[in-house]
Structure 1
Amino acid sequence: MRRSSTTLSTLLKRRVIELFAGQPAGSVDFTVTADLGTPMADGTVLLGDLYRPLDAGPQPVVLIRTPYGRSQLLGRVFATVLARRGFTVFQQSVRGTFGSGGVFRPFTDEHRDGLDTLAWVRRQEWCDGRVATTGASYFGHTQWAVAPYADPPLVALSLHITSASIRDLFYEHGAPGSLNAIGWSDSIARQEEPQPAPLLAGFGRRRRVVRALSTRPLREADVTSTGQPVPFWRDFTEHAAPGDAFWDVADHDGADLTRMPPVNMVTGWWDLFLQAQLHDYAALRAAGVPARLTIGPWLHGRRPELQEILRSDLEWLEHHLQGGPAPEGAAVRVQLQGTDDWLGFETWPPPQATTDRRYLTADAALAAEPPERAVPPSTFTFHPDDPTVFDGGPLLFAPAAQTDDWRAEQGIDVLVLTGQVEPADLDVVGPVRATLHVRPERDHADVVVRLCDVDEQGVSRNVVDGIRRLDPKTVPADDVTVGDDGVLTVDVELFPTAYRFAKGHRLRLVVAGGAFPRFAPNPGTGRSLAESTDGPPCRFEVFHDAQHPSHLRLPVLPADAARVPAPGSPVRS
């Protein structure tokens, strides 16, 4: 079905979309041909909408594949903004969503369907053979599922707030990210139903999904939340074992990255994809792929993040598809949280950062020098049936991002260590790690580390955290070794950041055996996540003596590091 673009009502709607996206008015008129059927190799037909400039001949095509609906705001924003700048856009609903045939089994069909769709697009009379892709979040996964395998290669990619490895995203260092997984399961199960106001929907979903995570066995949490089984949640709980081959089809971090075209990336310091995406960026650059990266102070999918995605996409695609000027400035631009500054680098992590170590001490402090004597270990006990609560962090639902950490720090099931007052601003920019020497009571346990910023009034706010799930199947490993005394040396990767600890503030480290509701509590029994029930308590010993110097490693940037204009600002000469 072809829709005309000439009515005043249609033009006004498109201008409203551009205003939402933070973009000036485009000048190109276009038509939309809706519900074009794309046949897959197995006979399933997927539906897509073609946005095409009036009177255009064959030209490059921007391909977008989404599970969230072509007529929903997110779908319309990408397609409309690009079409108003003269791009031909084909936006397709993935298998089993919004009119497309088949059953939606997230992440498992996008490789096959994406390659079939790409081949079909290239055969159409409106395509000159050149194809670029764009999109954020799941839209980004559909790009990863195609780009390393496309023959001939794609012209350009825009891999925003996404990652090549679904396994690393949902099982962070082996720990199941239950809150994001059940929240997303709840969303996709209801997305084609009439929705209440967004604020009410978000508030109700948070309460519903957190309550659902108390369901036992955990496999049934989807029924508690949505009233019915949700295929993705069942896959998430039933295939959580280390190395489960089920996710192999959805992971593309092992693909031949030298086949990738130039890549544009936007993400946020509080985005759940951040850690995995920065690993992707480093791997792409190591493979020789031209790539640009922007990181702002954003949560996943919030409007400011989407506006920067669209702004940078227009610049990126105009260069690669329309012969426009190449983007200027540093390849990597990051916002330094706690300031209004943006920093520019040619690589990530920034090579000019130096390592600052802070050592855990017996008197619950963080010291600049390593311990020199033998002292007893500190202890705490984790209770799976009453798990440690960590608010904030890279979550899809509030309370997310940076919050007051009082709930976690007041408990007796954590170890809290606080440093001295900082004599000057401390700019931590890059990957943060902690090496802990621990002896948990059980072979199955989680080691959680959270770094906080304590202000002059004593309010402690989370900055970054990390987790390592200990399992006999994955221990020992490169990041976990076992000493002759049975003490484990665990290297915990925290989220990367660019954050200023202001003069007069203090650093605080919180060590725990769980972080609910973000991660499913470790029952300590080795039972599968799907069958998980509350398990016995687990006592932890944390060592901080001369033989076991547990410590935090901070990448610190010099105070004179170069500042750059904010995204969208004129580049200084």
Structure 2
Amino acid sequence: MTVTGWVAQRLLKLPPATVPKVVVERDLPVPADDGVTLLADHWAPAGPGTFPTALVRSPYGRGGPLGWMMGRLLAERGFHVVIVSCRGTFGSGGGEFRAMRQERADGHAALRWLAEQPWFDGSVVLTGASYLGYTQWVVAADAPVQVKAMIPHVTSSRLAMAFLRPGRIELETLLSWSAMTATQEQRFAGLRRLLGGRKRVEAAMRTLPLANGDQAALGREWPFYQECLHHDQDDPYWKDEDFSAIVGDVKVPVSSIAGWYDIFLADQLRDYKALVAAGRPPRLTIGPWYHSHPQGLAASLWETVRWAGPLARGDKPGYRAPVRLFVMGVKEWREFDQWPPAGYSPQRWHLLSGNALGPTPGGFDVPTSFTYDPADPTPSVGGAKLEARGAGPVDNRAVEARSDVLTFTSDVLAADLEVIGEVSAEVWLRADRPACDLFVRLCDVDQRGRSINICDDLVKVRPDGITQVTVDLSPTAHVFRRGHRLRVQVSAAAFPRFARNLGGDDPVPTASTPWKTTVEVFHDAGHPSAILLPVK
């Protein structure tokens, strides 16, 4: 094992290496069905012996950190590792990269190529995070018998569609990822991003109309950005890229690795539930991680070695309960038989006058109002982000001090309150514009007054008088400790995580005129706005 391998083993707390030396073959040609040649690197344990294969398909290149983390570290633990560049990236043919296009056909081509290699022992596992996880789902429903296990990590069977709810765009993820993939093969791409590319993308997020965002960030149109702007998740346009409807057909053993602050969490749990509903026995691990958290990667590598490895060798992995969750607040791992765990029931905590939050609904409370200005949108703070910078749990006091954010805070808790499962909010509101957004966030306020975000989400609203709006916040597992307080934020934006709602009726891609919006939140006996927490 190399010095860097030893350092990674210590930092990531990985299983010890079992192979002393690794060799690598680079730029191996993999023929696709349409004659395009894809390129692959093959990392292998040196010396005699047979080993299963870990297949990784990626649009981000085969060298650098990806090759080292996925290639070398898994090869040192008893795998052949094949990393295939997606078409249009890093030497693979097919023209310019078109995200999510032809991934199913290319995935099956890679599996057929594997089966023909003299060192292939007949067993392969699929592994990788984010886009690399999507490339697992695209072949999973009709995978050949050689595929023994898959470990989708912070990903979804429909990938980008997770961000494309009708009327709502997760702008920060969409534009950042578009800019990154459009420029990643430029010379000194990483340095360019640090020296100014990131600031240019951040400035581009304020561009109106949104359809010009890629021009502002890149100086040209980027097909994926335009496709996502103009085709929401319900559009048949994505029918060949959305594999969520056939997740239940997957017979390959699945172990999903997710994070409480990951951008794909809700979709990943949707895939898990589809497997359970089909009678499959999937495994689920959720840690206190954001999308690119190194400990999430470590968990994925652990699962590849300790769970998928035995399956690939025809052995039985060690027993573990189907669901393993990190419970925040008390910082401990717990195991359950299912998701959501049994024994938790929704408890209503009502938004009340005087910025209070309590278990009893209000009486004749007057509504609480605020004014949202798209020219100075409520900023997004922490939470689910693509980039590590600023992601996850952070102190929300600065944003809570803004006049366009309402906060409702409970009394000090006399005992711990355990919340594990799916969180939702029912908010009654009225707005003076034909469209607005509603952002709801649950926070934990400690004895020092720090307000730490736990879970949240945003929905688009078309108010019709006093309108009841349901928001499904991201699921969580958190214990609010005795002496702490619960807090619910209500606002009309979380920018740039979500594109601004301009307050009009124009289509999202082409809207350009911002309108201030006054929003009233009702919390009287006839309109009992509340957050619903799954508690024991």
Post-superposition shift, 1:173?
Answer: 7.1
Post-superposition shift, 1:183?
Answer: 1.7
Query: In the alignment, is residue 414 of structure 1 matched against residue 405 of structure 2?
Result: yes
Which of residues 493, 511, 515 is equivalent to 1:532?
Answer: 511
How many angstroms apart in 1 are the aligned matches of 2:187 and 2:140? 34
Alpha-carbon contact 2:19-2:75 (below 8 Å) kept: no
How many angstroms apart in 1 are the aligned matches of 2:36 and 2:93? 6
**Letter matched to residue 34 of structure 1:** R
Q: Which residue of 2 aligns with 1:175?
A: 168
What count of residue pairs does the alignment treat as equivalent?
533
Q: Which residue of 1 aligns with 2:140?
A: 147
Which of residues 266, 269, 276 is equivalent to 1:275?
Answer: 266
Structure 1 residue matching 2:474: 3-state secondary structure: coil
Alpha-carbon contact 1:28-1:86 (below 8 Å) kept: no
Query: In the alignment, is residue 45 of structure 1 matched against residue 37 of structure 2?
Result: yes
How many angstroms apart in 2 are the aligned matches of 1:19 and 1:532? 51
How many angstroms apart in 2 are the aligned matches of 1:65 and 1:56? 26
**Letter matched to residue 417 of structure 2:** L
Identity percentage over the alignment?
A: 39
Alpha carbons of 1:277 and 1:191: their partners in 2 closer, same or farther (altered >3 Å)?
same
Alpha carbons of 1:74 and 1:269: their partners in 2 closer, same or farther (altered >3 Å)?
same
Q: Which residue of 1 aligns with 2:414?
A: 423
How many angstroms apart in 2 are the aligned matches of 1:226 and 1:267? 31
Query: In the alignment, is residue 487 of structure 1 matched against residue 466 of structure 2?
Result: yes
Query: In the alignment, is residue 84 of structure 1 matched against residue 76 of structure 2?
Result: yes
Alpha-carbon contact 2:183-2:189 (below 8 Å) kept: no
Which of residues 45, 56, 61 is equivalent to 1:69?
Answer: 61
**Letter matched to residue 500 of structure 2:** P
Alpha-carbon contact 2:247-2:271 (below 8 Å) kept: no
Q: Which residue of 2 aligns with 1:553?
A: 532
How many angstroms apart in 1 are the aligned matches of 2:43 and 2:449? 55
* Structure 2, gaps ≥5 residues long: none
Q: Which residue of 2 aligns with 1:5?
A: none
Post-superposition shift, 1:132?
Answer: 2.1
Query: In the alignment, is residue 232 of structure 1 matched against residue 232 of structure 2?
Result: no
Post-superposition shift, 1:181?
Answer: 1.5
Query: In the alignment, is residue 99 of structure 1 matched against residue 94 of structure 2?
Result: no
Post-superposition shift, 1:168?
Answer: 4.5
Alpha-carbon contact 1:26-1:81 (below 8 Å) kept: no
Query: In the alignment, is residue 522 of structure 1 matched against residue 501 of structure 2?
Result: yes
Query: What are the residue-to-residue correspondences of 1:206-285 with 2, within 5 Å?
Result: 206-240=198-232, 243-285=234-276
Q: Which residue of 2 aligns with 1:388?
A: 378
**Letter matched to residue 209 of structure 2:** P
**Letter matched to residue 540 of structure 1:** V
Post-superposition shift, 1:160?
Answer: 0.7
Q: Which residue of 2 aligns with 1:563?
A: none
How many angstroms apart in 2 are the aligned matches of 1:68 and 1:345? 35
How many angstroms apart in 2 are the aligned matches of 1:531 and 1:395? 25
Post-superposition shift, 1:551?
Answer: 0.9
Alpha-carbon contact 1:177-1:519 (below 8 Å) kept: yes
**Letter matched to residue 352 of structure 2:** T
> Root-mean-square deviation (CA), in Å?
2.5
Post-superposition shift, 1:137?
Answer: 1.0
Alpha-carbon contact 1:445-1:513 (below 8 Å) kept: yes
Q: Which residue of 2 aligns with 1:510?
A: 489
Moved more, 140-149 or 402-411: 402-411
Q: Which residue of 2 aligns with 1:566?
A: none
Moved more, 99-108 or 521-530: 521-530
Query: In the alignment, is residue 136 of structure 1 matched against residue 132 of structure 2?
Result: no
How many angstroms apart in 2 are the aligned matches of 1:153 and 1:383? 56
Q: What TM-score comes out, normalization by structure 1 length?
A: 0.86
Q: Which residue of 2 aligns with 1:185?
A: 178
Alpha carbons of 1:12 and 1:188: their partners in 2 closer, same or farther (altered >3 Å)?
same
Post-superposition shift, 1:248?
Answer: 2.6
Q: Which residue of 1 aligns with 2:347?
A: 356
Query: What are the residue-to-residue correspondences of 1:119-130 with 2, within 5 Å?
Result: 119-130=112-123
Alpha-carbon contact 1:167-1:251 (below 8 Å) kept: no
Alpha carbons of 1:245 and 1:253: their partners in 2 closer, same or farther (altered >3 Å)?
same
**Letter matched to residue 117 of structure 2:** Q
Post-superposition shift, 1:320?
Answer: 0.7
Superimposed CA distance per residue, residues 518-563 of structure 1 (whole angstroms, 9 cap, x where no aligned partner) = 1001123233333232421222222222222111111124xxxxxx
Structure 1 residue matching 2:148: 3-state secondary structure: coil
Q: Which residue of 1 aligns with 2:320?
A: 329
Alpha-carbon contact 1:390-1:405 (below 8 Å) kept: no
Alpha-carbon contact 1:111-1:249 (below 8 Å) kept: no
**Letter matched to residue 543 of structure 1:** F
Q: Which residue of 1 aligns with 2:107?
A: 114
Superimposed CA distance per residue, residues 164-217 of structure 1 (whole angstroms, 9 cap, x where no aligned partner) = 22254223575211112222222222322344878x956855543322211122
Alpha carbons of 1:519 and 1:257: their partners in 2 closer, same or farther (altered >3 Å)?
same
**Letter matched to residue 243 of structure 2:** H
Structure 2 residue matching 1:293: 3-state secondary structure: strand
**Letter matched to residue 539 of structure 1:** T
Q: Which residue of 2 aligns with 1:3?
A: none
Alpha carbons of 1:256 and 1:173: their partners in 2 closer, same or farther (altered >3 Å)?
same
Query: In the alignment, is residue 468 of structure 1 matched against residue 459 of structure 2?
Result: yes
Alpha carbons of 1:327 and 1:489: their partners in 2 closer, same or farther (altered >3 Å)?
farther
Structure 2 residue matching 1:315: 3-state secondary structure: helix
Post-superposition shift, 1:323?
Answer: 3.3
How many angstroms apart in 2 are the aligned matches of 1:20 and 1:231? 39
Structure 1 residue matching 2:441: 3-state secondary structure: strand
* Structure 1, gaps ≥5 residues long: 1-9, 472-481, 558-573
How many angstroms apart in 2 are the aligned matches of 1:275 and 1:440? 28
Alpha carbons of 1:523 and 1:551: their partners in 2 closer, same or farther (altered >3 Å)?
same
**Letter matched to residue 244 of structure 1:** D
Structure 1 residue matching 2:245: 3-state secondary structure: coil
**Letter matched to residue 140 of structure 1:** G
Query: In the alignment, is residue 399 of structure 1 matched against residue 399 of structure 2?
Result: no
How many angstroms apart in 2 are the aligned matches of 1:444 and 1:206? 31
Post-superposition shift, 1:149?
Answer: 2.8
Alpha carbons of 1:132 and 1:551: their partners in 2 closer, same or farther (altered >3 Å)?
same
